[in-house]
Structure 1
Amino acid sequence: MSIRSERKEEHLKLAQMFFNKQKYNSFDQLHLLRPALPETKVDTQILGVEMFKKRVSAPFFINAMTGGSQESKVVNKALGHVAAKEKIALALGSASILAKEEDQLDSFYVARNEDPDGVLIININPETPVEATNKIIHELNADALQIHLNTVQEIAMPEGDRNFFWLDHIKALHDQIDLPIIIKEVGFGLDEATIHTLKNAGIEYFDIAGSGGTNFAQIENARNSRDVSYLEDLGLSTVVSALMAKKEDVNFIVSGGVRNPLDVLKGLVLGGQYVGISNVFLQEYNQNGVAGLEQFISAWKNELAALIAIYGQNSLASLPQIKKYYDLPLKNQIDQLL
């Protein structure tokens, strides 16, 4: 097994080890005002939405997690099956490994094979060559491309990169790739200045991936001979990052610490077009298998539709109209940063 594949499998194990579904985060400091007389009904049909020119059954999806090893092949096959069954989008973990290890293609392709017609998003690092990226897109018949920004993770990673001159690479990918491109953080949040710079470079979609969920500094610290735990608190909260994206008036995905359907609703109220969920779905699969994850996602749809009804709304488009307020610590951050 290569060093890259071994790292992929270590990440899966450590993500499970550190998983805490009840972890407190910025969603807990955001509150929505609910009308006691909503004059609505529960209707799961309103959850359907278009995503990269295809119809999906819900505005939330399985976000990037894994690929590039034998264990992740099993996981991606299961996730592809569930995505097809539940008609939701799936983003694969970083496929940059394929630029050097083409024999790992099947660990990604199994997901497309399970879900030949669904929305499939592939993920690469910003230095992946254009030619290799185009080949990956073609082989996986991808609908969109995520480019992840993970400087904190790289610094925490014992074998991580130390060169972060990425903007020109991103511009080259944008100019030469004929797919929607999403710039994605990995749990430390996109800041307003970065969003602004990339917006000016032509990027149209952003996945803010704020802090509050899986912490890759924590995961990499567990693999490190040195203690770099001080990196674990460098993240920008999901709520603040979402407000920055909204201020920049870009299309954005809310992810980072989404634990339940109420967090999904809050992400949509903040202005997110879609909401991405990673480790919660992964650990549900680990505990209860494919059938359990299918039931779990189906229940989330029903619960999200119920929440939309009790908050007095009857469409996804109207959700940002819901009044919201913040606990003082989060309000203080917002006042200082926005």
Structure 2
Amino acid sequence: MTQHTNRKDEHVELAEAFYHERRADHFDAIKFVHHSFPTVNKENVSLATRFADMDFPFPFFINGMTGGSDKTYKINQDLATVARETGLAIASGSVSAGIKHPETAPSFEIIRQTNPNGKIFANLGPEHPIENYQRAVDILKADALQIHVNAPQELVMPEGERIFDTWLNNIEKTVQTIGVPVIVKEVGFGMSKETIQRLSQAGVKTIDVSGNGGTNFLKIENARREHQEFAFAEDWGQSTAISLLEGYAIHQDINLIASGGIRNPYDIVKSLALGAKAVGLSGHFLHLVLNEGVDETIAEVERWKNTIQTLMTLLSADTVTSLTSSDIVLMDPLKTWCEARQIDWQSFANRYH
């Protein structure tokens, strides 16, 4: 077993071990204003959305975190089965293992083999040469490329990356040359409006803000260290809700994706109302397939679709885009953050027409 393969299995085991410690309480500080007369009927509510120059039938998808070992081969096969049966898009975990150790490539290829007609995103870090990005896309026959940025994880990871000043330029070159849509995503530390602006200036059109509250890769990497000396920093970064507010504030023509700590369909609808085009879930689906199996995970997805449609009806939103006209009251700590960052938090409360 290679070091890379062993690390991938450790990530899965630790993510599952920490699953019940996840926190995403900032979503609880988002309150919809209830209006008593919905103006749409449930049967007319569409869950379709669009981002990364593609159309999707549902506004949530399976975000990736696995691949690179025999154990993750089976997990990716199960997740791809869920995606195929429910119509959800799916992303792989980082394909770096499949590139550095070709014998592990089947643990990624199984996603496309299982789900031949679905929307699939390949995933890789920001330090790779263009040929590696192309290889990742080829391995999965991917419809888009996710480039994950994860400086806190890399710095705490004992064998992690230590050079970061080339990342943004490398992303810009990749956007210009790769030939498929590029999604840049955090891995659970959130994004600032400054980060989103810099990515937009680099030509990135789709950004997954991926805030804290879900799978905590700083905590996972700290658990792999002998002395666990970064325990004090395990709450590093912005929440998904704050990151969406940061992105909403800059009013640029970008597609935001929300991920990190999504607990239920209510969190999905709140994310969409804050401007996200779609919502990605990784830890929740990983937990389900590991503990409940494929069939129950499929059933959960179908329940979530119905619940989202119900909530949208209550909000008189017949499309995902129209959710951004719903009235939202932002409570503390979101209100305090917005005041400090000069984000007009009060404007969210009076959007309904």
Aligned residues: 338
Q: How does 1:104-119 map to 2 (within 5 A)?
A: 104-119=104-119
**Given that residues 51 and 206 in structure 2 are in contact (C-alpha distance below 8 angstroms), is that contact kept between their aligned partners in structure 1?**
no
**Given that residues 43 and 306 in structure 1 are in contact (C-alpha distance below 8 angstroms), is that contact kept between their aligned partners in structure 2?**
no
The separation in 2 between residues aligned to 1:293 and 1:51, in whole angstroms, is: 25
CA-to-aligned-CA distance 1:68-114 (integer Å, 9 cap, x gap): 11111101001111101100100111112233111111101101111
Q: Residue in 2 aligned with 1:321?
A: 325
Moved more, 89-98 or 44-53: 44-53
Q: 1:66 to 1:147 in 2, by over 3 A?
A: same
RMSD: 1.6
Q: How does 1:137-148 map to 2 (within 5 A)?
A: 137-148=137-148
The separation in 1 between residues aligned to 2:177 and 2:232, in whole angstroms, is: 38
CA-to-aligned-CA distance 1:21-67 (integer Å, 9 cap, x gap): 77342111111112222143323861133455655331100012111
Q: 1:20 to 1:43 in 2, by over 3 A?
A: farther
Unmatched runs of 5 consecutive residues or more in structure 1: none
Q: 1:172 to 1:313 in 2, by over 3 A?
A: closer
**Given that residues 21 and 259 in structure 1 are in contact (C-alpha distance below 8 angstroms), is that contact kept between their aligned partners in structure 2?**
no
The separation in 2 between residues aligned to 1:211 and 1:3, in whole angstroms, is: 27
Moved more, 284-293 or 245-254: 245-254
**Given that residues 60 and 278 in structure 2 are in contact (C-alpha distance below 8 angstroms), is that contact kept between their aligned partners in structure 1?**
yes
**Given that residues 52 and 119 in structure 1 are in contact (C-alpha distance below 8 angstroms), is that contact kept between their aligned partners in structure 2?**
no
Q: Residue in 1 aligned with 2:272?
A: 268
CA-to-aligned-CA distance 1:190-214 (integer Å, 9 cap, x gap): 1111211121111111000011111
1:155 aligned to 2:155? yes
Q: How does 1:169-180 map to 2 (within 5 A)?
A: 169-180=170-181
The separation in 1 between residues aligned to 2:294 and 2:332, in whole angstroms, is: 41
The separation in 1 between residues aligned to 2:322 and 2:189, in whole angstroms, is: 29
Q: 1:287 to 1:7 in 2, by over 3 A?
A: same
Q: Residue in 2 aligned with 1:37?
A: 37
Q: Residue in 2 aligned with 1:189?
A: 190
1:101 aligned to 2:72? no
TM-score normalised by length of structure 2: 0.92
Unmatched runs of 5 consecutive residues or more in structure 2: 344-353
Q: Residue in 2 aligned with 1:240?
A: 242
The separation in 1 between residues aligned to 2:22 and 2:159, in whole angstroms, is: 31
Q: 1:111 to 1:33 in 2, by over 3 A?
A: same
Give the % identical residues.
37
The separation in 2 between residues aligned to 1:24 and 1:53, in whole angstroms, is: 29
Q: How does 1:1-338 map to 2 (within 5 A)?
A: 1-20=1-20, 23-43=23-43, 46-50=46-50, 52=52, 55-165=55-165, 166-226=167-227, 227-248=229-250, 249=252, 250-337=254-341, 338=343
AA in 2 matched with 1:298: E
